[in-house]
Every structure is written in structure tokens, then in C-alpha cells.
């Protein structure tokens, strides 16, 4: 990159030497881009614009501009924003364009600003987080076929299946806590891209996407999830 203008969001930063920071951005042009910023990092969750230069994995960032007014999240919106940024940092490869996930990320941040206004905030939150995960996993190359099993056989409504990340839906001889009902998996065939998930689809994806993301993350659990659980326990 040579003085390339990038548009995006700060997802993480850490101090580097005396007056610089290593910053991780999620950008419209190249997905995740890392670099050195020789000034105070911008706030998270705000659109920004800057110039990037360099051939190595760490670019030099200059001419930073913050596009909007400050955004502040509280409660569940705060933990959700933390979660979004953490999975982007942990799962996105460097400089791989992710157009669907980027657009959905921007939309999710806008929706989180209105969380407290919702009649059913918990359901609203589930909906917008599953939509983000749906687009992210597709951009990462993990789009699922909800009509066939791991053996390329058609899914059967009465059959139970175990999901494996690199195999797909494996037929299971019996129902278990880990098994998914064929009928529930098949409900995703009715989903229209960009629309809302129905209650059956939400129930399926909450389990399925959590399993997929946990597998992709490996041994190290998400800090945001741990803090969210701790916060929920202290509130109750």
C-alpha cells in the first residue's frame, strides 16, 4: 500500500513504544488491516478514514479523520460491541476483503445504539448478533448447506444430526443434547438473505454458530463472553 485511503473502524489497539500504538482496523477496502499510529487512537465504534502505507503486515497509518460524533454503549450494547470486535480480531485474516461482514458490522453498530428503545431488547439483540455471525462466517468461507448432510444426502426432518465444522451435518443414531433436529436445520431453507430469522431459526443458529465460532477460536475463550456472563451474574 502507498498512501492508500482506508475507511473503517478501530477494533483493538495497544501501546507501542513511547508515543505510538499498534492498531487493528476493520476496513471496507481490505478487511482487517494492522498498523502503527503515531498519535492517540480513535474511539471504537466510530467510522474513520486514514491513509495507509507499507508492504509489511504492519502499515504506517497517517491523516486520521473521525467521521461521526462519539458513540457510547452501555450494558448489553457495550458487551455486544466488545464481542463483535473480539471475534473480528481473532477470526479475520489480514488484508482479506470481507464486504458482507463489513456492511453487517456497520449496520449492527447502528442497531446497538437503539437497543434500549426496543420492546424486546433480548430478542432484538439475538437477532442482530446472529445476522452478523451469519455474514461473517460466510465471508470466512464457512457458508453452510442447510439441505444436505455430510454424505451429500438430503437432510431428513425426522433424523438427528451432529455438526462438525469441516464435515457438516453428520447423521446421528439417537437424539442427544449435542444433536440437532433435521426439521430445525431444514427451517433455514426458508430464510431470505437480509431478512429476520424466525424463532426456530434463531434457536438453531444460537447453538450452531456458537459451536462454529468456538471451534474456529481454538483453546482461548472469548474475554467478552466471560465478562458478559460475570456481569449478568452480578446483576441477578
Q: Which residue has the higher pLDDT, 18 or 21?
A: 21
pLDDT above 70: residue 236 = no
The whole-number pLDDT of residue 101 equals 97
- Mean of the pLDDT values across residues 97-105? 97
**pTM of the shown model:** 0.92
Specify which residues 31 forms β-bridges with: 27
pLDDT above 80: residue 233 = no
What lies within 8 Å, CB to CB, of 108 at 6+ separation is 80, 84, 128, 129, 131, 132
Residue from 105, 67, 99 nearest 86 by CA = 105
- Is the domain spanning 4-66 CATH 3.40.50.720? The answer is no
pLDDT above 70: residue 170 = yes
The whole-number pLDDT of residue 47 equals 95
Contact 112, 128 (CB under 8 A): yes
Structural domain boundaries in the chain: 4-66, 76-143+191-235
- Mean of the pLDDT values across residues 195-219? 94
Specify the CATH number for 76-143+191-235; select among 1.20.1440.120, 3.40.50.2300, 3.40.50.300, 3.40.109.10: 1.20.1440.120
Low-confidence winner among 71-80, 93-102, 119-128 (lowest mean pLDDT):
71-80
pLDDT digits (tens, 9 = 90+) for 52-65: 999 999 999 999 99
> Quick one: 64 exposed, middle or buried, by C-beta within 10 A (0-12, 13-18, 19+)?
middle
Amino acid at each position: 500500500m502507498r498512501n492508500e485511503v482506508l475507511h473503517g473502524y478501530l477494533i483493538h489497539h495497544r501501546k507501542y513504544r513511547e508515543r505510538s500504538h499498534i492498531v487493528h482496523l476493520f476496513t471496507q477496502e481490505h478487511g482487517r488491516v494492522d498498523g502503527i499510529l503515531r498519535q492517540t487512537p480513535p474511539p471504537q465504534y466510530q467510522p474513520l478514514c486514514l491513509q495507509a502505507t507499507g508492504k509489511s503486515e504492519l502499515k504506517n497509518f497517517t491523516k486520521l479523520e473521525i467521521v461521526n460524533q462519539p458513540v457510547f454503549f452501555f450494558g448489553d450494547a457495550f458487551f455486544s460491541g466488545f464481542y463483535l470486535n473480539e471475534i473480528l480480531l481473532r477470526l479475520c485474516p489480514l488484508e482479506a476483503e470481507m464486504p458482507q461482514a463489513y456492511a453487517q458490522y456497520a449496520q449492527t453498530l447502528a442497531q446497538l445504539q437503539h437497543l434500549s428503545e426496543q420492546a424486546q431488547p433480548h430478542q432484538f439483540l439475538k437477532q442482530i448478533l446472529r445476522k452478523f455471525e451469519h455474514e461473517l462466517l460466510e465471508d470466512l468461507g464457512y457458508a453452510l448447506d442447510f439441505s444436505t448432510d455430510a454424505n451429500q444426502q438430503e437432510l431428513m426432518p425426522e433424523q438427528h444430526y451432529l455438526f462438525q465444522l469441516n464435515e457438516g451435518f453428520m447423521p446421528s443414531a439417537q437424539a442427544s443434547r449435542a444433536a440437532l433436529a433435521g426439521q430445525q436445520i431444514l427451517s433455514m431453507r426458508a430464510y431470505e438473505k437480509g431478512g429476520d430469522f424466525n424463532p426456530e431459526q434463531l434457536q438453531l443458529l444460537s447453538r450452531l454458530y456458537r459451536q462454529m465460532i468456538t471451534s474456529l477460536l481454538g483453546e482461548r475463550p472469548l474475554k467478552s463472553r466471560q465478562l458478559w456472563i460475570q456481569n449478568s451474574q452480578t446483576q441477578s
